[in-house]
Amino acid sequence: MKAFFLLLLGSLTLSGLQAQDASRKKGGETAIFVDPLIKVFKYSTDLKEVKPVADVARGENASFQFVYRSGKQIKSLSAKITSLKGERGGTISNGAVKFVGFVKQGRYAEHPGTDALKSKDGTFPDPLFEQESIAVKAGDNQSIWLTIPIADNQQADTYHGELLVTAVSADGNQQSYKKNFDITVYPVSVAKQTLWVSNWAAFLNPWSLPLKKPAATTMYSDEYWAALKKFADKLTEYRQNVIRIEMLKVITFTKGNNGRYDFNFDRLDKMMNIFMQSGIKRFEGDFVAQKVSDWAGPLGFMMPTDAGAAVSRKLVTVDKDDNNARQFYKEYLIALYNHLKEKKWDDIVFLHISDEPTQQNPKAYRDMLAFVKSVVPDMKTIEAINQPVPEDVDIQVPLLSYYRYGNSARFIKQQQQNKGEIWFYVCVSPQYNYPNRFLENPLIKTRFLHWANYKFNLTGFLHWGFNIWSGNAYDFSTSNSVGGDAWVVYPKDGKIISSIRLEAERDGIVDYELLRLLEKKNPSMAKQIIDATMMDFDKFNSDIDTFRANRRKILTALSK
């Protein structure tokens, strides 16, 4: 271990002595490395050049952002990693070069944070295009994004990389740039994930999956299952380990002459097995009920209107025509739980009762939960909530801002009584200075979502929109929500592509795991770093240089 640190010290000194001038400005050109936590707009001129060094653990990703701008129109800008070799002779492979694209902003937050970004041209950088080259207008910035996975068994060392960038102008002139970057891999592993992460995803229609011809793909065909596996791999690539399945839309069932139902779980089993093969560890199930009228009104069962392959659902109010609904759910829940028990999946499936129960009508939720528990008392439950709910909800997921103003003690008391779990969620709320993943938020604020997990001892995170596209996925004005709220990935050429926001979220999950490891080894240092970084639910030290230095301290301490 000591030898590693001597080598690290020497390599950093050597890198400092041999650092190249990464900026060229003759003819209006700029070619520099910029911190990947910076959102680079097409028109940005105040970019700060950084020394391209990534400090990483085994099992995470090293990221770099290289920005190119020319006074001429560029017909083709391309880039590739030509080498990535360690000082001890090892190599790193499988690095990907992507191009940061732009999307049209829709709604800004009604109550923006003090650090909210505004776009002069109505666009924000976000999608990561996976293509060989891209055209760039004269005077526009184009970010090149490097994502380099670090293997779980990668040798601890400093690795020197070379990026070759080639720009071909509209008049046919070609210029190439060789840019060096370094990756320091510490003898620390984050392969094992303890934080639970769930982004509700759409995958029960071909249009939501990585398919080149979704219109020609039939649900549950071989093409569908193959695309679902790719989709599941994309989820777990970005450290999602919980997935919600609308199970009543997947299973099949028939009603016999005796008035009783027969349920077939074959498709659900296949779907769950595909997700588990990709690394999903837990599943959220259906909502039994939803609000019938207004936010504070009664709840209604989500009652299927027919049986068979295509299942539609309607609301049946609790206090009216609910006998058929109650009988259906008694049979369905018992059959589902018995099937999960037989498959030994009963500990990894969590049922929803009704989304976001309110303080205005707590009895409606309690009555519905009591009904479900009377039918399947051992079925585990999870709920996104804004009030403490009965103790037998296994995973309570309050909105992050609901922990304020004395609410934390109430949630923690219930957690202790039930020995359950406490997560948090965000969606279109909270706004102001809370961390969230809106387009207008600085990337470091998106990354801080999972520093909040660590700071407040919240062991899971939930968001409603992974790929809930509406209209044009590259135009957030087609969404009814705040820009960036409904999706963090994009469809492109038969693939699901990532975004710089999703990259920041994944890095934040790794930060959480590193802080947990540091807490075991040096709790006082972990507390000092988290308290200096996140002072409250909505107060942070967002200085990027300080953030990088603190993260390096964590890796160094864990390496000793």
pLDDT digits (tens, 9 = 90+) for 260-276: 999 999 999 999 999 99
Contacts 24+ apart (CB under 8 A), 406-415: 408/456, 413/388, 414/388, 414/389
What's the rounded Cα separation, in Å, for the pair 554 and 244? Answer: 34
Amino acid found at 65: Q
Residue-level pLDDT at 23: 41
Contacts for 141 with CB less than 8 Å, ≥ 6 apart: 30, 40, 41, 42, 43, 44, 47, 67, 68, 69
Contacts 24+ apart (CB under 8 A), 286-290: 286/246, 286/247, 286/248, 286/351, 286/352, 287/352, 287/353, 287/354, 287/355, 288/329, 288/351, 288/352, 288/353, 288/354, 288/368, 288/372, 289/318, 289/353, 289/354, 289/368, 290/315, 290/354, 290/355
pTM as predicted: 0.93
Element (H, E) at 299: strand 299-304
Residue-level pLDDT at 307: 57
In terms of Cβ atoms closer than 10 Å to its own Cβ (0-12, 13-18, 19+), residue 520 is exposed
Residue-level pLDDT at 10: 44
Q: Which residue has the tokens 């666009």?
A: 123
Residue-level pLDDT at 402: 87
Is the separation of the CB atoms in 433 and 400 below 8 Å?
A: no
The structure tokens listed for 146 are 């490097």
Q: Which residue has the tokens 């990026």?
A: 163
What does residue 518 show for φ and ψ, rounded to 5 degrees?
Answer: -65, -35
pLDDT digits (tens, 9 = 90+) for 279-338: 999 999 999 998 887 777 788 898 887 655 566 778 777 666 677 889 999 999 999 999
Residue-level pLDDT at 11: 43
Residue-level pLDDT at 104: 98
Cα three-residue angle 203-204-208, rounded to 5 degrees = 40
Residue-level pLDDT at 418: 65
**3-state DSSP assignment of residue 403:** helix
For the chain, the residue count is 560
Is the separation of the CB atoms in 149 and 18 below 8 Å?
A: no
pLDDT beneath 50, residues of the chain: 1-27
The structure tokens listed for 299 are 């709840």
User: What class is the 2-188 domain?
Assistant: mainly beta
- Identify the bridge partners of residue 490 per DSSP, sorted by sequence position: 497
**3-state DSSP assignment of residue 452:** helix
What's the rounded Cα separation, in Å, for the pair 68 and 136? Answer: 9
Is the separation of the CB atoms in 223 and 204 below 8 Å?
A: no
Nearest-Å Rg of the Cα atoms of the chain is 25
Is the separation of the CB atoms in 146 and 95 below 8 Å?
A: yes
What's the rounded Cα separation, in Å, for the pair 317 and 299? Answer: 6
- In this structure, the strands spanning 252-255 and 261-264 are antiparallel
Domain spans in the chain, listed from the N-terminal domain onward = 2-188, 241-393
Is the separation of the CB atoms in 162 and 179 below 8 Å?
A: yes
Residue-level pLDDT at 298: 83
- Identify the bridge partners of residue 179 per DSSP, sorted by sequence position: 163
The structure tokens listed for 337 are 């739980």
What's the rounded Cα separation, in Å, for the pair 316 and 412? Answer: 34
- Identify the bridge partners of residue 463 per DSSP, sorted by sequence position: 199
**Which residue spans within 222-279 are E strands per DSSP?**
242-244, 252-255, 261-264
Residue-level pLDDT at 17: 30
**Torsion sign across C-alpha atoms 193, 196, 202, 203:** positive
What's the rounded Cα separation, in Å, for the pair 95 and 77? Answer: 18
DSSP string for 380-423: EEEEEESS---TT-SEEEEBGGGGTTTHHHHHHHHHHHHT-EE-
